[in-house]
Amino acid sequence: MLRGFDESDRPAMLLTASMGAPKKRRDEELGAINELRALGFLED
């Protein structure tokens, strides 16, 4: 959890894909992040 990442007092979580990982794993991570975004769990 990150604090002070934005203007909110709420803790924030920064999700990233492992760019050094093999492409298949990277694609799976990006897909999971996109799915969370589509379900409304993540904000841009």
- 30 or 15: which leads in pLDDT: 30
Would the pTM count as exceeding 0.75?
no
DSSP alpha helix (H) spans, the chain: 23-38
The reported pLDDT for the residue numbered 4 is 56
pLDDT tens digits, 17-41: 888 899 999 999 999 988 988 988 8
Question: d(Cα 27, Cα 21) in Å, to the nearest integer?
Answer: 10
The reported pLDDT for the residue numbered 1 is 45
DSSP letter at 1 equals -
